[in-house]
């Protein structure tokens, strides 16, 4: 499974970056192949200063070795080795009318001292972070996500949508990071569901990513905007940074396993503001977004 999934994300990275380059039309992804001294490595692709994407990354990695003590404590295990691979992407568009998007699809194994697999699971998901709320965009993103889930079981969308709302919650701000999507973790084989079944589900969602996001970008990328709206985008990007540095498990895992710092932090936007005690004007478009972020909404 580890070889099968890594080959899959290699191909998925190619597909996604090729499409995003076509959408931007100005710049290409720069590629950086790196190795981790403890074992494994990855292929980082970053796009910057485009006509559409101000900064973005579509990264794959496969790392392995002895599980560090901090992560042993986190997983409540002792003296074991691990393998982890996945694709992670974040795109920060230039136009504040175009939402930021994040997606991640990953696979993990743990081994005993005889190199037997003692645990294995999939995780991942995708979520949308708009700066100005177009309800039809939120509905489209969630409908595509639901369609992918519905092919693999009843109530999967409802379950993983709720988990996404719970996970991407900036508790120190008491608000959501964005308008959600899907989040799933620790998907393990059971009597009724094989590892292949889980692989089929995860790749179904991943295969639908471009359909979920690109039509929104195409619809909004040429809308006009002014400096006040750009300032709001940068203020909201600050909340995005706060979540990634304070709460995000992927960032924590990368830092605790001596991951490549440039790849881990590629999710951070290039321009951000933290204005002291900032509040939008009542009844403004900015205030309307905050109202939605205060209480997760059912979009489909």
* Residues marked as catalytic: 102
Burial annotation 29-60 (CB, 10 A radius, 16+ → b, else e): beebeeebeeebebbbbbbeebebbbbbbbbb
Tokens of 238: 């600050």
* Angle at the Cα of 242 from the Cα atoms of 34 and 49, rounded to 5 degrees: 55
Q: Which residue has the tokens 């393990």?
A: 188
Separation of alpha carbons 193 and 182, rounded Å: 20
Burial annotation 13-23 (CB, 10 A radius, 16+ → b, else e): beebbeebbeb
208-to-25, 52, 147, 188, 199 alpha-carbon distances in Å: 22, 21, 9, 22, 14
Q: Which residue has the tokens 């965009």?
A: 137
Cα of first residue to Cα of last residue in the chain, in angstroms, is 33
Tokens of 298: 């059912």
Separation of alpha carbons 115 and 100, rounded Å: 40
* Angle at the Cα of 124 from the Cα atoms of 118 and 129, rounded to 5 degrees: 155
Separation of alpha carbons 93 and 99, rounded Å: 7
């Amino acid at each position: 499974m580890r070889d099968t999934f890594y080959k899959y994300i290699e191909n998925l990275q190619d597909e996604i970056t090729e499409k995003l380059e076509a959408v931007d039309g100005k710049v290409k992804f720069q590629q950086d192949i790196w190795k981790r001294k403890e074992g494994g490595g990855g292929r980082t692709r970053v796009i910057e200063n485009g006509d559409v994407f101000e900064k973005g990354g579509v990264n794959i990695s496969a790392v392995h070795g002895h599980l560090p003590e901090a992560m042993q404590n986190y997983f409540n295990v002792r003296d074991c080795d691990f393998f982890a691979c996945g694709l992670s992407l974040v795109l920060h568009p230039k136009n504040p009318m175009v939402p930021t998007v994040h997606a991640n699809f990953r696979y993990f194994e743990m081994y005993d001292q005889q190199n037997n697999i003692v645990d294995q699971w999939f995780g991942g998901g995708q979520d949308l972070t708009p700066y100005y709320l177009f309800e039809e965009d939120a509905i489209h993103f969630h409908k595509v996500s639901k369609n992918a889930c519905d092919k693999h079981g009843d109530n999967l969308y409802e379950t993983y949508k709720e988990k996404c709302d719970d996970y991407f919650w900036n508790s120190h701000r008491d608000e959501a990071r964005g308008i959600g999507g899907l989040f799933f973790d620790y998907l393990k084989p059971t009597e009724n569901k094989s590892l292949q079944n889980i692989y089929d589900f995860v790749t179904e969602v991943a295969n639908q990513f471009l359909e979920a996001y690109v039509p929104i970008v195409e619809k909004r990328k040429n809308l006009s905007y002014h400096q006040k709206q750009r300032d709001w985008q940068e203020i909201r990007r600050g909340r995005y940074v706060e979540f990634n540095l304070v709460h995000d498990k992927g960032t924590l895992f990368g830092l605790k396993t001596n991951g490549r710092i440039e790849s881990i932090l590629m999710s951070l936007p290039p321009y951000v503001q933290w204005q002291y005690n900032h509040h939008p004007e009542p009844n403004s478009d900015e205030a309307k977004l905050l109202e939605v972020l205060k209480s997760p909404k059912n979009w489909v």
